[in-house]
């Protein structure tokens, strides 16, 4: 039976949801679950969650756990990557230092200086993962959930093209589900296609039984001024295609909103939102651990929605599915850079995962995406070349950072972030750099 390794299993709420999804499939009830985390307490909590989930679902998986990543990877068929290098403390640094410079962020895990430095902390760990996979499970699929998604997949494409890596994110799914509910279309009867880059893809097709649903959305927006007070509603009205990530995320990927007080008020943008989310994640972990120690049952009522369990089920059983996933752009989107990570529809079955060619995006959408991609390409190149100047140049072309800070201040901020993150970064990328 399939062997599934969880890296970063100490993200216990996410792990609980994935485990419940996996073990809810009849064909996956006796899989091997190999859990890994570098934090022994979190790992023990994750193991208890796995055991409790299996018991409540009357499933019989083999469950092992280890702080040694190699033990978890040995013989794996699927590797689910959900690590967060530096955890909450690094997230706080990514927000507090830029805030002192007057740079506003909302989520900071995908683009901007937060996304850049999160990527640079993550890349060395990805190097270790793929080296271990080549030795211990060379045929396994690497199912990546770790952000910044596009940068991570682009980096893996560059350093490990032999590893079967795919990036999984639920943003297209949830965007379509929520929009369909908003316009009164049953989601199960809706057909859709999204494409672009992760956290900035575009809803190119959205239909209910052949009816284009965009006119219904236009009518809702025309009748509800408060509904228009959201970033991605504003972007849709101006660009003509709906972006498939939340307004909180979308606000910091473009130069138009965060450095204007009036826009923050008009569009109700929650500056610094991810610091609150990260703190809530710590509280959720503590509550989950306390409930386990008290013998409380887990809430497993949530309907399966995550992609990793669906991909594993399809590859194991041959059940065909169509999902949106992140892969290298090899002729998939013609007006985005070749080789960088793009988010496109993919068919998955026993033969694996096959991305669909989309062709050209609407030109205005591709133009916005290219500003996003520029940051990621320079960040990946900084890591590949060990060139700290490229980090500063990535920040210089970042839309929100460039709209807010002078070039001198951008370099000073990168200097301080590089020093603050210290040995979490590769040695050549640490410290200050003269302009």
Rounded CA-CA distance 328/166 in Å is 9
Q: Are strands 242-243 and 321-328 parallel, antiparallel or unpaired?
A: unpaired
72: Cα within 13 Å, side-chain hemisphere: 24
Q: Using alpha carbons, list the distances in angstroms from residue 325 to 255, 344, 347, 364, 435.
A: 26, 6, 10, 22, 38
Q: Is 170 an active-site residue?
A: yes
Any residues with CB less than 8 A from the CB of 286 and at least 6 apart, and which?
none
Q: Is 249 annotated as a binding residue?
A: no
Q: Tokens representing 427?
A: 């040695």
C-beta separation of 188 from 155 below 8 A: no
Rounded CA-CA distance 336/331 in Å is 9
Q: Is 218 helix (H, G, I), strand (E, B) or coil?
A: helix
Per annotation, catalytic residue among 36, 170, 208, 259? 170
Q: Is 102 helix (H, G, I), strand (E, B) or coil?
A: coil
Q: How many residues does the chain have?
A: 435
Q: Which residues of 261-282 are buried (b: 16+ CB within 10 A; e: fewer)?
A: eeebeebebeebbbbeebeebe
Binding-site positions read: 147, 169, 199
Binding-site positions for Mn(2+) read: 169, 199
Binding-site positions for substrate read: 147
Catalytic residues: 170
């Amino acid at each position: 039976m399939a062997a599934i390794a969880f890296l970063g299993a100490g993200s216990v709420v996410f792990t609980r949801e994935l485990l419940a999804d996996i073990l809810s499939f009849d064909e996956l009830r006796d899989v091997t679950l190999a859990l890994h985390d570098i934090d022994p307490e979190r790992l023990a909590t994750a193991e208890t969650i796995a055991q409790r989930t299996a018991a409540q679902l009357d499933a019989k998986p083999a469950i092992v756990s280890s702080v040694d990543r190699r033990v978890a990877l040995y013989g794996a068929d699927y590797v689910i990557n959900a690590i967060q290098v530096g955890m909450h403390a690094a997230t706080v640094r990514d927000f507090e230092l830029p805030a002192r410079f007057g740079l506003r962020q909302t989520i900071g895990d995908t683009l901007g200086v937060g996304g850049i430095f999160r990527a640079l902390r993550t890349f060395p760990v990805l190097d270790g993962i793929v080296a271990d996979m080549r030795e211990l499970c060379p045929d396994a699929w690497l199912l990546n959930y770790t952000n910044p998604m596009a940068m991570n997949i682009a980096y893996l494409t560059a350093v490990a093209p032999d590893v079967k890596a795919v990036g999984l994110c639920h943003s297209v799914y949830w965007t379509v589900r929520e929009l369909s509910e908003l316009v009164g279309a049953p989601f199960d009867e809706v057909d859709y296609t999204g494409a672009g880059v992760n956290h900035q893809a575009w809803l190119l097709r959205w239909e209910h039984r052949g009816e284009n649903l965009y006119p219904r959305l236009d009518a809702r927006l025309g009748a509800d001024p408060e509904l228009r007070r959201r970033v991605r509603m504003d972007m849709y009205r101006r660009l003509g295609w709906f972006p498939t990530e939340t307004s909180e995320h979308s606000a910091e990927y473009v130069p138009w909103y965060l450095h204007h007080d009036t826009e923050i008020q008009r569009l109700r943008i929650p500056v610094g939102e991810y610091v609150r989310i990260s703190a809530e994640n710590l509280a959720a972990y503590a509550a989950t651990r306390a409930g386990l120690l008290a013998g409380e049952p887990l809430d497993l009522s949530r309907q399966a929605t995550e992609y990793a369990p669906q991909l594993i089920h399809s590859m194991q059983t041959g059940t065909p599915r169509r999902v949106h996933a992140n892969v290298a752009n090899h002729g998939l989107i013609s007006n985005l850079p070749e080789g960088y990570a793009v988010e496109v529809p993919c068919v998955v079955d026993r033969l694996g995962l096959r991305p669909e060619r989309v062709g050209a995006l609407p030109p205005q959408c591709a133009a916005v995406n290219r500003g996003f991609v520029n940051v990621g390409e320079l960040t990946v190149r900084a890591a590949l070349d060990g060139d700290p100047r490229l980090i500063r140049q990535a920040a210089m072309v970042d839309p929100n950072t460039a709209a807010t800070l002078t070039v001198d201040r951008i370099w000073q901020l990168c200097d301080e972030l590089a020093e603050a993150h210290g040995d979490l970064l590769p040695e050549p990328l640490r410290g200050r750099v003269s302009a």
